[in-house]
């Protein structure tokens, strides 16, 4: 009988795929202005000549900035709603704002986020995290 070991890994995208340009935090909300790095190896693979930010990377970006905003490590517990409305290309929108509202209930940090540049909304996400 084979035994499998589950490894907890994390992929840190900050300073590789994006950098933080500005932050604004208030009570139960925050907004991070991000600069997407068109030279990232991720964009060279997804897709050459027509870079698009992978949805999984956007979810990871949200977790990283949420951890930064609340000051603690988190683990994704639940995806309530994730909608990718438009492809997010660093050629068309090298700067994107991630606007979030959050609340802590029953041991969960529930986050509602929007990825947007100006009036263009690229994604909406509702995710729940637990402390790591």
Domain map of the chain by residue range? 18-131
CATH of domain 18-131: 3.10.129.10
Q: According to the model, what pLDDT value does residue 91 have?
A: 97
Average pLDDT of the segment spanning 26-43: 96
Q: Does pLDDT of 8 surpass 90?
A: no
Average pLDDT of the segment spanning 68-90: 96
Average pLDDT of the segment spanning 71-86: 96
Q: According to the model, what pLDDT value does residue 64 have?
A: 97
Nearest to 132 by CA among 4, 10, 31, 5: 10
Cα 129 to Cα 132: distance, rounded to the nearest angstrom: 9
Q: According to the model, what pLDDT value does residue 11 have?
A: 75
Average pLDDT of the segment spanning 81-99: 97
């Amino acid at each position: 009988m084979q035994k499998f070991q589950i490894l907890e890994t994390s992929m840190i995208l900050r300073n590789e795929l994006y950098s933080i340009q500005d932050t604004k935090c208030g009570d139960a909300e925050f907004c991070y202005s991000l600069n997407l790095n068109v030279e990232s190896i991720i964009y060279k693979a997804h897709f050459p000549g027509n870079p698009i930010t992978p949805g999984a990377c956007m979810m990871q970006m949200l977790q990283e900035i949420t951890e930064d905003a609340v000051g603690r490590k988190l683990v994704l517990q639940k995806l309530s709603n994730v909608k990718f409305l438009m492809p997010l290309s660093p050629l068309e929108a090298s700067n994107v704002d991630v606007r979030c509202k959050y609340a802590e209930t029953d041991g969960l940090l529930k986050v509602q986020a929007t990825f947007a540049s100006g009036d263009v909304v690229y994604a909406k996400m509702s995710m729940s995290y637990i402390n790591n």
